[in-house]
């Protein structure tokens, strides 16, 4: 029998339950209002039982040493990640956009959101009208699966099938997605398949082989995706979000930590084969290895391009610590390569890897195979004090960078608050208790020992405690003092992108890029209709001379110290 994690309806008011627990000799199903029901031991460590259990049934599994655990494939939980699982009626929600088929990938303009900071699923839904009116075409939700406590980035989740209880119910999540589709907004979801969080993960107590004994990730035990039950756990999770919740795509977090390319390829194949071509389904990778082999038709649509961000950050701020070391030398040529070819590191030696090569050639890929950004949850939140670029560079340079981001053919991603010039920090936050809370706080501060600003214990105490509620509250993205000006800039740039650039992105390719001096670039792309898009931008303090503009200027902004700091134009080939 093909084993499927989680409850499966078999008749009205009746469900089949299955748990892979190869380390155990006996497992029972326990409902809150009924007796223990012994589950049948089947082949390969599975325990299975059918029972009367309609929607709303509260249940968990009891192991032979009297340990009670929630279903790791719970579709909902009550009482937190150590509480009870809840049977959910997947058909109960009445979709208003049942005919929604999504949008093509090249139309994507993405905004990354943290659901908890924005008031849960209902709070995000209230913001969708203004998001769509700005010109954004997709929202990307940071991980929403259940985690311990009431506050978390989402990357410490332990029940990947269950929407976080404090954010709202499964139907409230569906209502959010439904409303987005009414506004022609796509919804992408960030999922974490490389590790589980440190609290509330009980799988290792009954299925130790779910995890690899020969590998660890920076966040915990690596998952053993070469085992069929483990692989099935994640395949079915991806299909659940795409099928039952009708999300338009998934962003897979830190897949380099999975260390199994065959699993990634098989996952993409399973999604494509199961859901077919009727909908636009988009799959996006975060892969520190710059592995261009995973991207292409029938596989993954795109990868987050950290190289673009890192190069831009050096140009905008002058910071060269930590992972910015690889981008400190001659950043303008590196930006030129990123705009033309996607990855900066395509097999080049990396200082951060002790000189070892990083990446594979990417110049054969279209510009839309790369998701570019100036900020995201990682790049802001992994700073000790969570500062945004509004506090790290000049407004004039940041406006020029925003124009480059939103007008270049790569798929742009903006972080919540960027559009309003927010100066609120985005800090790392959790909600642990006791020894784990102390360990997380100390570990967070220890991360920055090598940074000169936090070299001594006294200065490290300035780093906020991740578990303090004030850390969470401070991270809410309040509009900045020049919010109206920033909103106007984003609205104008996205209107230009929508009318002049997006319709011709299919078939776009680089026509070459040039570094102009130490901090300026001139980039050209031939769009699908033959028109050439050119963008000249200067991030330096000294004026530079660009070639004369031949064509129709679609955007220009004169910035202090340079009359032609950013200009974009279209011309016949």
Instruction: Say what the alpha-carbon torsion angle 194, 248, 372, 419 is, to the nearest 10 degrees.
Output: -120
CB 32 within 8 A of CB 59: yes
CA nearest 37: which of 22, 23, 56, 19?
19
Confidence class for position 545, pLDDT limits 50, 70, 90 = confident
Would you state the pLDDT for residue 174? 98
Closest CA to 266 of 302, 230, 290: 230
CA distance 438 to 220: 17
Q: Reply yes or no on whether the pLDDT at 33 is more than 90.
A: no
Q: Where is average pLDDT lowest: 364-378, 423-437, 534-548?
A: 534-548
Per-residue pLDDT averaged across 514-519, rounded? 92
165 catalytic residue (yes or no): no
| Rounded CA separation 64/21 (Å) | 11
- pLDDT of res. 564: 57
Nearest alpha-carbon partner for 379 in 319, 310, 331: 310
Tokens of 533: 């898009």
Helices and strands (H, E) in the chain, number of each type: 12, 29
User: 42 catalytic, yes or no?
Assistant: no
Say which of 112, 164, 286, 423 is annotated catalytic.
286
- In three-state form (DSSP H/G/I as H, E/B as E, the rest C), the secondary structure along 232-293 is HHHHHHHHHHHHCCCCCEEEECCHHHCCCHHHHHHHHHHHHHHHCCCCCCEEEECCCCCCHH
**CA nearest to 49, candidates 26, 29, 21, 69:** 29
Return d(Cα 406, Cα 292) in angstroms, integer.
Answer: 23
Q: Are 520 and 331 in contact (CB under 8 A)?
A: no
CA-nearest of 221, 205, 230, 299 to 261 is 299
Q: Report d(CA 414, CA 377) in Å as an integer.
A: 10
User: CA torsion sign, 183 to 407 to 334 to 414?
Assistant: negative
Question: d(Cα 415, Cα 114) in Å, to the nearest integer?
Answer: 9
Distance between CA atoms of 147 and 130, rounded to whole angstroms? 29
Could you give the CA distance from residue 155 to residue 247 in angstroms, rounded to a whole number?
19
| pLDDT for 559 beyond 70 | no
Element at 60 (helix H, strand E): strand 58-63
Report the distance separating Cα 478 and Cα 464, nearest Å: 19
**Which tens digit of pLDDT belongs to each residue from 232-251?**
999 999 999 999 999 999 99
Query: How confident is the model at residue 172, as a pLDDT?
Result: 98
Residue 216 has pLDDT above 80, yes or no: no
- What tokens were used for 399? 């406006």
- Token pair belonging to 137: 């075409």
What angle (nearest 5°) sits at the alpha carbon of residue 66, between those of residues 81 and 6? 45
- φ, ψ dihedrals at 154, nearest 5°: 115, -15
- Asked whether the beta carbons of 511 and 526 are under 8 A apart, the reply is yes
Confidence class for position 2, pLDDT limits 50, 70, 90:
low
Main-chain dihedrals φ then ψ at residue 171, nearest 5 degrees: -70, -30
pLDDT digits over 416-455, tens only? Answer: 999 999 999 999 999 999 999 999 898 888 888 777 778 7
Calculate the alpha carbon distances from 505 to 196, 364, 392, 511, 526 in Å.
38, 15, 32, 14, 9
Q: Which of 104-108, 127-131, 236-240, 348-352 has the lowest mean pLDDT?
A: 348-352
Radius of gyration from C-alpha coordinates of the chain: 24
Burial class (CB in 10 A: 0-12, 13-18, 19+), 94: exposed
Tokens of 301: 């649509």
Q: Write down the pLDDT at residue 282.
A: 98
To the nearest 10°, report the CA torsion of 543, 547, 549, 555: -40
- Which residue among the candidates 71, 140, 236, 253 is catalytic per the annotation? 253
**Among the listed residues 300, 295, 319, the one whose alpha carbon sits nearest the alpha carbon of residue 309:** 319
The stretch 200-217 carries a mean pLDDT of: 90
User: Do residues 245 and 91 make contact, with C-beta atoms less than 8 angstroms apart?
Assistant: no
The structure's pTM equals 0.96
Q: Is residue 56 a contact partner of residue 86, using CB atoms and an 8 Å limit?
A: yes
State yes or no: pLDDT of 386 exceeds 90: yes
What is the per-residue pLDDT for 561? 44
Tell me what the pLDDT averaged over the chain comes to: 94
Residue 560 pLDDT level (bands cut at 50, 70, 90)? very low
Torsion sign across C-alpha atoms 562, 563, 569, 573 = negative
Question: CB neighbours of 558 closer than 8 A, spacing ≥ 6?
Answer: 564, 565
When pLDDT is cut at 50, 70 and 90, the band that residue 352 belongs to is confident
For position 453, what pLDDT does the model report?
78
Choose the weakest-confidence range: 22-31, 409-418, 451-460, 500-509: 451-460
């Amino acid at each position: 029998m093909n084993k499927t994690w989680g409850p499966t309806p078999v008749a009205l008011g009746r469900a089949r339950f299955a748990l892979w627990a190869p380390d155990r000799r006996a497992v029972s199903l326990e409902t809150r209002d009924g007796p223990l029901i012994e589950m049948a031991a089947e082949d390969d460590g599975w325990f299975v039982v059918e029972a009367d259990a309609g929607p709303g049934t509260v249940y968990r599994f009891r192991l032979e040493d009297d340990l009670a655990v929630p279903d790791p494939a719970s579709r909902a939980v009550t009482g937190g990640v150590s509480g009870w699982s809840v049977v959910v009626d997947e058909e109960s929600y009445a979709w208003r956009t049942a005919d929604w088929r999504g949008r093509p990938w090249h139309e994507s303009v993405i905004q990354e959101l943290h659901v908890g900071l924005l008031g849960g699923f209902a709070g995000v839904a209230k913001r969708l009208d203004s998001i769509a009116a700005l010109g954004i075409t997709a929202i990307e939700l940071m991980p929403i699966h259940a985690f311990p406590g009431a506050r978390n980035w989402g990357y410490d989740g332990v029940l990947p099938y269950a929407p976080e209880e404090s954010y709202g119910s499964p139907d409230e999540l569906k209502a959010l997605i439904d409303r987005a589709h009414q506004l022609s907004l796509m919804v992408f979801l960030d999922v974490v398949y490389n590790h589980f969080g440190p609290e509330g993960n009980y799988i290792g107590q009954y299925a130790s082989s779910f995890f690899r004994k020969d590998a660890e990730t920076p966040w915990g035990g690596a998952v053993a995706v070469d085992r069929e039950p483990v692989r099935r756990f994640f395949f079915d999770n991806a299909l659940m979000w795409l099928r039952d919740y009708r999300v338009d795509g998934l962003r897979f977090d830190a897949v380099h930590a999975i260390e199994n390319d065959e699993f990634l390829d098989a996952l993409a194949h399973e999604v494509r084969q199961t859901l077919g071509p009727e909908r636009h389904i988009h799959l996006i990778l975060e892969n520190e290895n710059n592995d261009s082999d995973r991207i292409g038709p029938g596989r993954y649509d795109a990868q987050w391009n950290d190289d673009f961000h890192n190069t831009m950050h050096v140009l905008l701020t002058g910071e060269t610590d930590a992972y910015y070391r690889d981008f400190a030398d001659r950043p303008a040529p590196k930006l030129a390569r990123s705009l033309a070819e996607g990855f900066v590191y395509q097999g080049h030696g990396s200082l951060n890897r002790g000189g070892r090569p990083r990446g594979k050639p990417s110049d054969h890929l279209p510009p839309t195979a790369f998701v570019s950004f100036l900020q995201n949850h990682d790049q802001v939140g992994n700073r000790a004090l969570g500062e945004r670029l509004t506090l790290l560079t000049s407004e004039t340079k940041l406006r020029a960078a925003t124009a480059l981001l939103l007008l270049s053919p790569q798929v742009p991603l903006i972080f919540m608050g960027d559009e309003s010039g927010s100066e609120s920090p985005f800090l790392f936050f959790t909600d642990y208790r006791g020894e784990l809370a102390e360990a997380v706080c100390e570990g967070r501060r220890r991360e920055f020992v090598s940074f000169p600003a936090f070299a001594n214990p006294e200065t490290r105490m300035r780093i906020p405690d991740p578990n303090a509620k004030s850390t969470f509250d401070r991270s809410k993205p309040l509009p900045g003092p020049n919010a109206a000006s920033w909103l106007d800039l984003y609205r104008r740039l996205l209107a230009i992108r929508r009318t002049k650039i997006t319709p011709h992105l299919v078939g776009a390719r680089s026509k070459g890029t040039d570094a102009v001096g130490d901090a300026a670039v001139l980039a050209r792309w031939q769009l699908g209709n033959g028109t050439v898009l050119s963008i000249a931008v200067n991030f330096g303090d000294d004026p530079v001379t660009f070639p004369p503009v031949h064509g129709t200027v679609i955007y220009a902004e004169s910035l202090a110290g340079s009359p032609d700091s950013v200009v974009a134009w279209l011309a016949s080939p």
